[in-house]
């Protein structure tokens, strides 16, 4: 499940939306089933973009923990988590329309009532629609690694966007990132660790160890990564990578309490 969203660089000259967009809108074809569920369900469970604060309790019709997922892909993980945790409400953001259609189909098949979808740039949704301290958690699973050196500025996990996300977390709320790209895992650990309002859920590596890992471009044996939380299911994509010997790194940081 690889998905990208906009990298937050508000006010950057030459960018119409005030930030570099790290996603590319793919023109993939929707299946007939995806189109059917998209047309039938999105008007009911979709949350249109608006340049105004969103009342999440009103959107879901109840008071419950609110979890944001950025980049739902084809929706498999998002739907499985929502199904397993009916006590939480989930707001999934996905720019790829066939993915939205696939998630609509899963929502209908599973009868999920605790999941809503936004089909818009996550940076703009978080910046313009989500009030400060409104979220209990944020999931960012396998974002596009933009592995070429000249493209790394397009990666989602950048200091400015992490600061924005952190401001939307309640004290004690968490941000959970996962990636199967070692270099990106190191960048995530570095960026999240530098955010003063976040604390790692596990022991941070020493500055010297992190600097050496960044220089060597290797996370082998480096502290700071979390065990995979039980709520994040293994996807087919991830299982295939694990069978091939690819690593997967989870990072869980929490907003500091005052």
Alpha helices in the chain (DSSP H): 32-45, 56-60, 76-84, 97-110, 122-129, 159-168, 182-194, 207-216, 236-243
Q: In whole angstroms, give the CA distance from residue 166 to residue 62.
A: 24
Distance CA 31, CA 73 (A): 15
Report whether 116 contacts 91 (CB < 8 A). Answer: yes
Picking from 183, 176, 156, 106, the residue whose alpha carbon sits closest to that of residue 5 is 156
- Cβ–Cβ contacts within 10 Å for residue 241, how many? 16
Q: 180 an active-site residue?
A: no
CA pair distance 27, 99, nearest whole angstrom: 11
- Single out the catalytic residue among 89, 121, 128, 144: 144
Q: Which residues are catalytic?
A: 144
């Amino acid at each position: 499940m690889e998905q990208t969203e906009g990298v937050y660089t508000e006010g950057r000259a030459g960018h119409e939306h005030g930030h570099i967009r790290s996603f590319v809108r793919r023109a993939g074809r929707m299946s007939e089933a995806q189109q059917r569920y998209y047309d039938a369900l999105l008007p009911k469970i979709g949350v249109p973009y608006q340049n105004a604060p969103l009342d999440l309790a009103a959107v879901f019709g109840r008071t419950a923990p609110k979890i944001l997922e950025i980049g739902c892909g084809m929706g498999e993980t998002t739907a499985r988590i929502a199904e397993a945790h009916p006590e939480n409400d989930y707001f999934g953001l996905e720019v790829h329309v066939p993915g939205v259609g696939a998630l609509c189909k899963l929502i209908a098949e599973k009868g999920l009532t605790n999941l809503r979808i936004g089909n818009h740039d996550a940076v703009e949704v978080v910046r313009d629609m989500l009030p400060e301290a409104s979220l209990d958690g944020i999931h960012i699973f396998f974002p596009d690694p933009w592995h070429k050196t000249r493209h790394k500025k397009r990666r989602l996990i950048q200091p400015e966007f992490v600061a924005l996300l952190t401001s939307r977390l309640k004290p004690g709320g968490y941000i959970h990132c996962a990636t199967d790209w070692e270099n990106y895992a190191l960048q995530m650990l570095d960026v999240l660790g530098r955010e003063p309002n976040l604390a790692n859920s596990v022991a941070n590596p020493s500055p010297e160890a992190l600097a050496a890992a960044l220089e060597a471009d290797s996370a082998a044996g480096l502290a700071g990564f979390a065990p995979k939380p039980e709520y994040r299911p293994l996807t087919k994509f991830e299982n295939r990578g694990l069978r091939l010997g690819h690593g997967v790194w989870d990072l869980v940081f929490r907003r500091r309490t005052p």
